[in-house]
Amino acid sequence: MAKLWAVAVTDALKADGLRIAELDTSGLPGFTGDKLSGTALLAERVLVLSDLQEKLYANGRSGDRRSVLLVLQGMDTAGKGGIVRHVIGSVDPQGVDHAAFGVPTAEEKRHHYLWRIREALPRAGQLGVFDRSHYEDVLVVRVHNLVSRTVWESRYDEINAFERELADEGITLVKVALFVSLDEQKRRLAARLERPNKYWKFTPADLDERAFWPAYHEAYQAMLDRTCTEHAPWYVVPADRKWFARLAVTELLIDALGRLDLDWPPPKFDVEEQQRRLTQL
């Protein structure tokens, strides 16, 4: 297939200096193809992702402590679930550690907000995915004043220190913020109200949240400005076109896994000797 990315995906999507207010949520940064070529490319690239994930898993089984963690943030209907299903769903499930974070349970509320996050970190050799994350504690919590300003203000530095610790422990973080337009969100919510097989995805409170869109944008902007670090950068993915968001996240994961420079672990036995033994059986 012809080269369809004009620049490296990490450059095309990096959050450095990005203003959310100026983002074209239907744009295709760095991508020169269309839906047809993008969808065909996605089908190819998930196979590459799957191969890399298997290498990560194999190395984990051989004592390598490293893992990769995809952190997905986005407003309701931004497509987090679709990425889990179509991108993460393309790799071997035994190598995936998936966690979704909703309103904290009574037990979670008794702990520090990072407690449930630590509990869900990917094990060695695993591809972790967080559908929402500790960032909710500077997003929904900030927008709805669930704690005082002094408390949420202190969390940005705390999160940076926490993620530094994770990076030092061998967890490669791939942080992705998905953005849809207010109109696209309306279309997606309408679709959820049209079909019985989509009702389960709808929550009446999602409609109330639309009134808080500007406050969410402000909170998302602060999150990008204050927690985009060298050891844990943010990538911003325009998500009005689902195929593009899925392709972009696939490429970001391929990049992260590729940078681990993984090879198949060498055998812990003499291959020829085992072949000889087998022929004699």
Cβ at position 196, least distance to ligand ADP in Å: 18
Which window, 33-41, 96-104, 181-189, 221-229, contacts ligand ADP (CB under 6 A)?
A: 96-104
Which window, 64-72, 132-140, 211-219, 229-237, contacts ligand ADP (CB under 6 A)?
A: 132-140
Cβ at position 74, least distance to ligand ADP in Å: 9
Cβ at position 146, least distance to ligand ADP in Å: 6
Cβ at position 181, least distance to ligand ADP in Å: 19
φ, ψ of residue 97 to 5 degrees: the values are -110, 105
Which residue number, 74 or 125, has a Cβ lying nearer to ligand ADP?
74
Q: Among residues 50, 31, 2, 94, which one has the least CA distance to residue 241? A: 31
Amino acid at 253: L
Which window, 21-29, 45-53, 97-105, 154-162, contacts ligand ADP (CB under 6 A)?
A: 97-105
CA distances from 77 to 170, 181, 249 (A): 32, 10, 16
Q: Which position among 99, 140, 147, 222 is part of the footprint of ligand ADP (CB under 6 A)?
A: 140
From residue 9 to residue 48, the character string flagging contacts with ligand ADP as x (rule: CB under 6 A) and all else as - is ----------------------------------------
CA distances from 234 to 10, 144, 175, 254, 266 (A): 10, 23, 5, 16, 34
141 binds ligand ADP (CB under 6 A): yes
Q: Number of residues interacting with ligand ADP: please give it, by CB under 6 A.
A: 11
102 binds ligand ADP (CB under 6 A): yes
From residue 49 to residue 68, the character string flagging contacts with ligand ADP as x (rule: CB under 6 A) and all else as - is --------------------
Q: Which position among 5, 31, 57, 101 is part of the footprint of ligand ADP (CB under 6 A)?
A: 101
CB-based contacts of 97: which residues, under 8 Å, 6+ apart? 67, 120, 121, 122, 123, 126, 127, 128, 129
103 binds ligand ADP (CB under 6 A): yes
Scan residues 74-93 and list those touching ligand ADP (CB under 6 A): 76
Cβ at position 88, least distance to ligand ADP in Å: 15
Q: Which residues bind ligand ADP (CB under 6 A)?
A: 76, 101-104, 132, 136-137, 140-141, 146
